[in-house]
Structure 1
Amino acid sequence: MRAAMSELGLKIVEMSDESATLDGGDVLFTVVLPPPSLHSGDYTVSTVPVEERLHLKSFCSMAGPGLIIIGSSEAAQKALKTMQQMSDHRYDKLTVPDDPAANCVYMNLPDRGDVLIHCTSQEFPESVKVFERLKGHMLIPVSNQEKLKVDGGLTCLSVLISKTNRSV
């Protein structure tokens, strides 16, 4: 990853505190606009306590600009309330009955528009019914059965990098 990121000219930040931990599943970018200075690393960061789950993305992800997919468990709803209290921006939300189904991968592709990769109806039939309400999205169901065995989600299999203007 370091070599790929360096080749793309992306800034690499290392954590110097040996006791600190951070995983990609702990980070949720909620605004799809570039920061004021793309390479300066200027992002507003808020801490959201996560109860009963491995990572923040264990029960939520983004489904588009300003649209959060969130699980319906008490822990997921409590985290959403915290996010809403800390932000000036009002996000739309899409609540799914199954927390793990809320771990999706959103992309806006120039030739396809809004694309959402989500778990299959064999895994989470009721949650897929909710995704089908997203009429403006191309929906791509992908089996996540094997990753779920080790508490993994679809975002664990993804590294999305936009090469346009070297943005992430």
Structure 2
Amino acid sequence: MANVCPYGYFTHAVVRGVPETFGKPAADGRENGEASVDLAKAQRQFGCLTGALRQKVGLQLIEIPPDPELPESWRIEDVAVIQGDMALITRPFKQQRRSEVEAVRRVMSELNLTVVEMGGEEGDSGGATLEGSDVLFTGREFFVGISSHTNRRGAEVLADTFRDFAVSTVPVCGGARLKNICSMGGPDTIIISNSDGAKKTLRMMEQLTDHHYEVLSVPEESAANCIYIKGPSKRDFLLHRPAEECPDSASAHREAGKTLDMLLLFHS
């Protein structure tokens, strides 16, 4: 699902199915970012996610068909950052992932969003890499994680695109992507892993912002990856991993849910 302002009400979600090639060796001979993949489970989880978004949250779903030539294209959040009526089409780090943007670009245009292209090797954004899973929008400002997937030039392009908001860069410590260690858990609430690396990233975020955020720490890193949604019915939802996957973090999720109308279990 593409990144959208948590303070604006969601109306649509753009998703892309899990291809049969997910988990098979990519062109460079390495696995697609996964140590072990249960394809059938991943596809079942995708079905649960889309069902929850459509039936429980009430969003209009736009489903892009899976592409066997693009094994990681289900990570659709990586290729577009959306705020308001503007969509920044990003430039993933891996060369073989850059074709993923084409289908997403078409959808953004069909939704009548203003589409900004990050661009290629040449030009003003030459050398920039940016993936949406390294972007945290709080409703007030952006934090961009500098990681193996996203560089400072990519963060500069994002800042130039969304000029109405402050953009700060922070190192991703203890996780592959920023979303692996923190996410929004509600208005002005950040859910973050209590690992040493995540705490280091959080301290830098606190030094760089003028805003106050409530912080909920979770002992399991995977529990920090949530999606906060303001639905079209003006009800709030939090998608997170179920208690059986993250039993030590269930109480933190419940605490976040005290201000929400509903909690949804999110298998990722």
What range is the shorter-chain TM-score in?
Answer: 0.7 to 0.9
Task: State the shift of 1:8 in Å.
Answer: 1.9
The gaps in structure 2 that reach 5 residues or longer are 1-103, 122-126, 142-160
Q: CA deviation at 1:122?
A: 1.3
What's 2:236 paired with?
A: 114
Contact 1:27 1:56 (C-alpha < 8 Å) held by counterparts: yes
Shift of 1:16: 3.3
Q: Work out whether residues 174 and 198 of structure 2, in 8 Å CA contact, stay in contact via their aligned partners in 1.
A: no
Report the counterpart of residue 85 of structure 2 in structure 1: none
Distance (Å, rounded) in 1 between the aligned partners of 2:253 and 2:129: 32
Q: Deviations over 1:79-129 (max 9, x none)?
A: 111111101001111111111111001101242622000001111011122
Does the aligned pair in 2 maintain the 1:61–1:103 contact within 8 Å?
yes
Q: CA RMSD in A?
A: 1.8
3-state SS of paired residue (1:12): strand
**Helix, strand or coil at the partner of 2:170:** coil
2:258 counterpart residue number: 135
After the TM superposition, which segments of 4 or more aligned residues of structure 1 sit over 4 Å from their partners?
Answer: none
Cα shift at 1:143:
2.2
Identity rate, percent: 45
SS at match of 2:179: helix
Tell me how far apart the structure 2 counterparts of residues 63 and 117 of structure 1 sit (CA, whole Å): 9
Q: Report whether the alignment pairs 1:101 with 2:223.
A: yes
Residue 78 of structure 1 is matched in structure 2 by: 200
Normalising by structure 2, report the TM-score.
0.48
Unaligned runs of 5+ in 1: 34-39, 145-168
Structure-2 residue corresponding to 1:14: 117
Larger RCO: Structure 1 or Structure 2 (Cα < 8 Å, ≥ 6 residues apart)?
Answer: 1
Amino acid at match of 1:59: I
Match of 1:159 in 2: none
How many residue pairs are counted as aligned between the two chains? 138
**Which residue does the alignment assign to 1:54?**
176
- Greater Rg over alpha carbons, structure: 2
Distance 1:125 1:11 in 2: 42
Structure whose residues are more often strand by fraction = 2
Q: Partners in 2 of 1:87 and 1:17 — Cα distance?
A: 31
Whether the 8 Å CA contact 1:98–1:127 is kept in 2: the answer is yes
